[in-house]
Amino acid sequence: MAQFIIFLPLIGFLFCFFFGKYFNFKISQILTTSFLFISTILSWILFFSYLGEKEIEVIQIFNWFTSGNFIVDWSIRLDSLTTTMFIVVCSVSACVHLYSIGYMNEDPSKVRFMGYLSLFTFFMLMLVSSNNLLQMFFGWEGVGLASYLLIGFWYHKPSANNAAIKAFLVNRIGDFGYALGIAGVFFIFGSIEFDVIFNNAENFKDHSIPFLGLTFSTIDLLCFLLFIGAMGKSAQLGLHTWLPDAMEGPTPVSALIHAATMVTAGVFLVARMSPLFEYAIVTNLFITFIGASTAIFAATIALTQNDIKRVIAYSTCSQLGYMFFAAGLGAYNASIFHLMTHGFFKALLFLSAGSVIHAMHHEQDMRKMGGLFKKIPFTGTMMWIGSLAIIGFPYFSGYYSKESILENAYYSNSSMATFAYSIGILTALLTAFYSWRLLLMTFHGKTRSDSKTFDYAHESPLVMTLPLALLACGSIFSGMFFADYYIGKMQYVFWGEALVLHEDKHHYLPFIQTLIIKSSVAMGVMLAALIYFYKNHLPKNLAHNLDPLYSISLNKWYVDELYNSIFIKPYFLIANFFWKRGDEKIIDGYGPNGISKIFALFSSYLSRFQSGYLYHYAFTMLGGLVIILTWFIYY
């Protein structure tokens, strides 16, 4: 069954790639979408079979490569972590496939688009079902490729091409760490199979390793290297710059890849490797720190962005930060639970935004929207559901998962946990603020769009609204239904050996703490309502009065500008320097060209001897004779 789940999308892609052009585009659309729905149904069946107690199952496919004792298999590992990822990936992907039929209706390259979506899904499923680090790397880079192709899908746009390259390259910087991490794991454990690593992790607890002349705790170093990979893929602080730019891709892509699935691969990696990360004490502090910093950093940027997709993109970044700090604190189950609920509500938010953009004829600037609720009430309702879920409104999915992360932070006894906890609450406030800012600017108040666009705004067709409804169900109910299994009393049965669980920290937060959390969320909502609904002149005044802060937020803390001047420009300069100075001046100049010049010079001197005058030759002979005679006389 797992084979079907994974390979159906691949078959869909291959069909589009080889035969798509010979048939009507509808065939490709129907085929890929229905394959995805079959995969989804199968993955839910599989998921339910893993709800109870069940052994981890490994299905061997065939040997990929063997070199010395480095043995890698193509295989599928099934446990509750894999099946969780299966349902998230397949469900969101199926919804996005269906949605794309409507959204890409006017695009000439529909077949290519559907093919890429299916290809992405295949790689993602390979990633989450891998039984070793290298097959995971295959999926890891594969989703990177699909992301590159889809961000640059509209290849006529230079901005899209640049964003695609940026995404690929920043991810590659992460992959550099990941690849080193795999090599290191192999060096230490002699295998990259998960079971071997997990069984031996404890033996290397106090082991240390020299690296670059310094000595590191082995597991800390390995986890650090792997985490670099996770940072790239999950757009964590420092390597986050590609994610907002990735919004150049079509909106369904943003929903699938850059919100619900691919960007969570980093979190998945940490959870999957939890038996190893468990012993990486220093690296865990680092992960918590990076996660918490990203959460607040991205949230501050989301406050002022005007592009509807960029707000959601930064929100994704920020939510990923939550997942990482939970993982860093050892609450892997809370982290994965948030990953799942986030997958549903973030995909919902993105697809709703897509529906808005669709209605507004590809307008993404929220300053030119407003009052759309009357025109597109269904989309508006969906956006409301998604927003309620993301701020953690009681009984929506985000409520359970976010609360659980904060609980874990509260009950972990370290100063880093306290830091993360306070950041978490502050971020919750900001999340509520920017979510409501988005809602109000888009759907409520008076419209700021020109009357023509506004009048023609229309609700999306059924193929687009149906996926929204499905995802809305996920956003509302996934928390309620599965909280017991992921973080509640069934967690030991459910997770089994799939990831590391700590002794039951599931005490409820003290009343005062819940009050703080809830009131800060409420405050965020009310602030947004005050500024963007009741007092319409406030945004401008605030922007003016708080100018330095406002500019920092609007310009994304100037990270892109900074990177541009300290990395990208020097890179090109050095490249030219090496070429013009290194290769042409030094190596060629002193190498072949230099030698040939010396020879030319030499031969021009030599040729002067052949002057043709007899007395020159006679004199030379005489001179030679004198020298030879002198030599013989003295020696």
Q: Which residues bind another protein (CB under 8 A)?
A: 63-70, 134, 137-138, 140-142, 145, 148, 152, 155-156, 158, 161-162, 165, 168-169, 172-173, 175-176, 179-180, 182-184, 186-187, 210-212, 571-572, 574-576, 578-580, 582-583, 587-588, 591-592, 595-596
Bridge-based pairing of strands 70-78 and 208-211 is unpaired
If the CB atoms of residues 143 and 353 are measured against another protein, the closer one turns out to be 143
Query: From the CB of 300, what's the least distance to another protein, in Å?
Result: 29
Query: From the CB of 144, what's the least distance to another protein, in Å?
Result: 8
If the CB atoms of residues 194 and 494 are measured against another protein, the closer one turns out to be 194
| Cα-trace Rg, the chain | 30
Q: Rounded distance, CA 211 to CA 628, Å?
A: 64
- Helices marked H in 190-250 — which ranges? 194-200, 218-233, 242-245
Q: Other CB atoms closer than 10 Å to residue 272's CB: what's the count?
A: 28
Q: Rounded distance, CA 10 to CA 629, Å?
A: 89
If the CB atoms of residues 222 and 425 are measured against another protein, the closer one turns out to be 222
Query: From the CB of 137, what's the least distance to another protein, in Å?
Result: 6
Query: From the CB of 262, what's the least distance to another protein, in Å?
Result: 15
Query: From the CB of 219, what's the least distance to another protein, in Å?
Result: 16
Q: Rounded distance, CA 359 to CA 372, Å?
A: 9
If the CB atoms of residues 54 and 172 are measured against another protein, the closer one turns out to be 172
Burial of 322: CB neighbours in 10 Å, binned 0-12, 13-18, 19+: buried
Query: From the CB of 392, what's the least distance to another protein, in Å?
Result: 38
Query: From the CB of 8, what's the least distance to another protein, in Å?
Result: 18
If the CB atoms of residues 122 and 486 are measured against another protein, the closer one turns out to be 122
- Helices marked H in 305-412 — which ranges? 308-328, 332-359, 377-391, 397-411
If the CB atoms of residues 19 and 155 are measured against another protein, the closer one turns out to be 155
Residue listed under structure tokens 């040997």:
63
If the CB atoms of residues 598 and 618 are measured against another protein, the closer one turns out to be 598
If the CB atoms of residues 450 and 583 are measured against another protein, the closer one turns out to be 583
If the CB atoms of residues 118 and 449 are measured against another protein, the closer one turns out to be 118
3-class secondary structure, 63: strand
**% helix, strand, coil for the chain, step of 5:** 75, 5, 20
What does the block give as tokens for 295?
């959460």
DSSP labels for 130-197?
-SBHHHHHHHHHHHHHHHHHHHTSSTT-HHHHHHHHHHHHHHHHHHHHHHHHHHHHHHHHS--BHHHH
Query: From the CB of 183, what's the least distance to another protein, in Å?
Result: 4
Q: Rounded distance, CA 343 to CA 97, Å?
A: 15
Q: Which DSSP letter does residue 76 get? A: E
Query: From the CB of 194, what's the least distance to another protein, in Å?
Result: 17
